[in-house]
Amino acid sequence: MSTFDRAALIAAALEARRQAYAPYSQFAVGAALLTVSGGIVTGCNVENASYGLTICAERGAACSAVAAGEREFAAIAVALAGGGTPCGACRQFLAEFNPQLPVLLVDADRPWLVIETSLASLLPSRFEFRKV
């Protein structure tokens, strides 16, 4: 990933976070996926009164990308307070498309603090569907 793409991806995740719909948790999350073709697709968390229907920012971004015909992901940036890691469900969801995906964790309160990791580290043994 180029320095330019990296900066654009971080900025896009921070911008997407501004659209978060999080009236229950008040915890806003933004995600930005860099596609292999060089595009950026974003998502934010969208909560629901029935709590369990909440969609995380990462899964929202992945669904938008697939709907736009993009299935090859080069990196994801996730922006949230404290710069935490994607939840387990989102790790599995993203690993479907790239189990090695580089992950940039952006502290939304201190966006110059970016931790670089990957799905290979965060989810070493994803579930894989195998017919027996």
Other CB atoms closer than 10 Å to residue 23's CB: what's the count? 9
The single residue among 18, 25, 82, 121 that binds ligand THU, judged by CB under 6 A, is 25
Q: Kindly report the CA angle at 52 between 47 and 53, in degrees rounded to 5?
A: 55
Placement of tokens 């595009």 in the chain: 39
The single residue among 56, 61, 106, 114 that binds ligand THU, judged by CB under 6 A, is 56
Residue 58 annotated in active site: yes
Residues with Cβ within 8 Å of residue 2, at least 6 apart in sequence: none
The minimum distance between CB 2 and ligand THU, in angstroms, equals 26
By C-beta, is 40 or 59 nearer to ligand THU?
59
By C-beta, is 46 or 74 nearer to ligand THU?
46
Contact between 90 and ligand THU (CB under 6 A)? Answer: yes
The minimum distance between CB 106 and ligand THU, in angstroms, equals 13
DSSP 4-52: HHHHHHHHHHHHHHTT-B-TTT---EEEEEEETTS-EEEEE-B--TTST
Catalytic residue among 15, 47, 58, 72: 58
Q: Which residues are catalytic?
A: 58
